[in-house]
């Protein structure tokens, strides 16, 4: 068997998995994190752009030394991006990965059962 012909789930299994309640819960769990965080980040970015466009005098206000509000907001965009990545990693470790591993284990167990059932029995 070549590398391209690795054993895998039976045909139609992917559709059965996609329609399973476990996979639906996994997708819902992902969406519960991704959608609110995405909306929040896009709103935060839009605020930065709008303030940079329409509140230029306020954005020029010095905070300390040569650092003004605009520069501070720009740096906070990077900080929030790394914060979101860190939060997603923690969320995935706690909520998504265990559910995905359980689905994977179920698939592998079902695949092992199918393989065992197809193995010819030796006659004594």
Confidence of residue 2 (pLDDT cuts 50, 70, 90): low
What does the domain layout of the chain look like in residue ranges?
Answer: 18-108
Per-residue pLDDT tens over the stretch 14-29: 788 888 889 999 999 9
- Other beta carbons within 10 angstroms of residue 71's beta carbon come to 14
Confidence of residue 112 (pLDDT cuts 50, 70, 90): confident
* Dist. CA 56–CA 32, nearest whole Å: 36
Is the pTM of the predicted complex or chain greater than 0.95? Answer: no
* Dist. CA 124–CA 122, nearest whole Å: 6
């Amino acid at each position: 068997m070549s590398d391209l012909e690795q054993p895998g789930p039976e045909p139609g299994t992917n559709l059965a998995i996609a329609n399973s309640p476990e996979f639906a819960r996994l997708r819902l769990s992902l969406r519960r994190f991704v959608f609110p965080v995405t909306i929040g980040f896009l709103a935060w970015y839009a605020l930065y752009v709008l303030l940079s466009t329409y509140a230029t005098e306020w954005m020029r206000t010095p905070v300390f030394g040569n650092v003004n509000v605009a520069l501070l907001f720009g740096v906070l965009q990077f900080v929030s991006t790394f914060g979101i990545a860190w939060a997603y990693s923690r969320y995935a470790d706690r909520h998504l990965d265990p559910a995905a591993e359980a689905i994977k284990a179920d698939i592998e167990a079902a695949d092992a059962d199918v393989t065992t059932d197809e193995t010819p029995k030796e006659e004594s």
